[in-house]
Amino acid sequence: MTDSTKNTTDNTGADTARGLVMPSVPSPQSTAEEITALDALHFGWNHRVMREIDRQLSFMGGLPYEPDARQRAALRAWVTATDERIADAVYCTEQDPQGFAFVAREVTALDDRELLARYEERKRETATARYQVRAVDQVPAAEREWLRTGFEGAAERYADSDSERPALYRAAAEGFRDVRGFVIWDRFNHRYVATQWGRTAEETAPECDRLNQYHERHFAADLWR
């Protein structure tokens, strides 16, 4: 089940993103939504604080509790950053290029019980689905251009190679230019896997599955080590 289904938000909900602005820096006048968006963008959670949250949830037997201000801020940031709508072009605007402000507005409206439930559900979900296959037309335009340039540069660097890499990199650059093909999104680092592009979802899925299996084996059981 996707975040957009769980949150009862469909693509038409992206219309509400219009007018939302992602701030560049915090200020004394920053709202809770703006602070959460910035914290999500800049990985504003602390592993020690997240371990405290997990210990408290374990102590409570999974029942909700009242997080303190540090814990609440960390929860909001992580839940926002790992939302699958981040960097999906449907939810992005020129003023909110990766959709952090859009998602943060929803997350900051959650009460503590809802926020903790979202956190635990997100951990379960990303244990096996940290990485996602996305169509290139889901990539925001500015990021498509950045990825296209990167693949063109890689094709030039390996131009003299006898391997198939130069041709693959050229095909990827053309795919980003023509807005076709598929890529892999990393929900934890909120970025597209820079070396991956496939002509079809089926071509891209095996690498996405491999990355998810690696995450499940090595990281999912203890995110905050």
The predicted-structure confidence for 76-134, as pLDDT tens digits, reads as follows: 999 999 999 999 999 999 899 999 999 999 999 999 999 999 999 999 999 999 999 99
- Regarding whether 89 and 119 lie in a shared domain, the answer is yes
Question: Of the residues 129, 150, 167, which one is the last residue of a structural domain?
Answer: 129
Spatial CB neighbours of 132, under 8 Å, sequence gap ≥ 6: 84, 184, 185, 187, 208
- Regarding whether 211 and 134 lie in a shared domain, the answer is yes
Question: Of the residues 69, 98, 129, which one is the last residue of a structural domain?
Answer: 129
Q: Is the dihedral of CA 89, 90, 96, 99 positive or negative?
A: negative
Question: Of the residues 94, 129, 164, which one is the last residue of a structural domain?
Answer: 129
Spatial CB neighbours of 9, under 8 Å, sequence gap ≥ 6: 85, 106
Q: Give me the half-sphere count of Cα atoms (radius 13 Å) on the Cβ side of residue 179.
A: 8
- Regarding whether 190 and 146 lie in a shared domain, the answer is yes
Number of structural domains found in the chain: 2
- Regarding whether 162 and 114 lie in a shared domain, the answer is no
User: Which pLDDT belongs to residue 25?
Assistant: 67
- Regarding whether 120 and 143 lie in a shared domain, the answer is no
C-alpha 160, offset from chain centre: 35
The string of pLDDT tens digits covering residues 127-177 is 999 999 999 999 999 999 999 999 999 999 998 887 888 999 999 999 999
Residue type, 147: L
- Regarding whether 14 and 112 lie in a shared domain, the answer is yes
Q: Residue 186 phi/psi, 5° resolution?
A: -100, 110
User: Which pLDDT belongs to residue 90?
Assistant: 94
Whole-angstrom distance, CA of residue 159 vs CA of residue 157: 6
- Regarding whether 157 and 123 lie in a shared domain, the answer is no
- Regarding whether 225 and 171 lie in a shared domain, the answer is yes
The string of pLDDT tens digits covering residues 173-199 is 999 999 999 999 999 999 999 889 999
- Regarding whether 221 and 150 lie in a shared domain, the answer is yes
Residue 218's domain comprises: 130-225
- Regarding whether 188 and 153 lie in a shared domain, the answer is yes
- Regarding whether 26 and 122 lie in a shared domain, the answer is yes
- Regarding whether 208 and 134 lie in a shared domain, the answer is yes
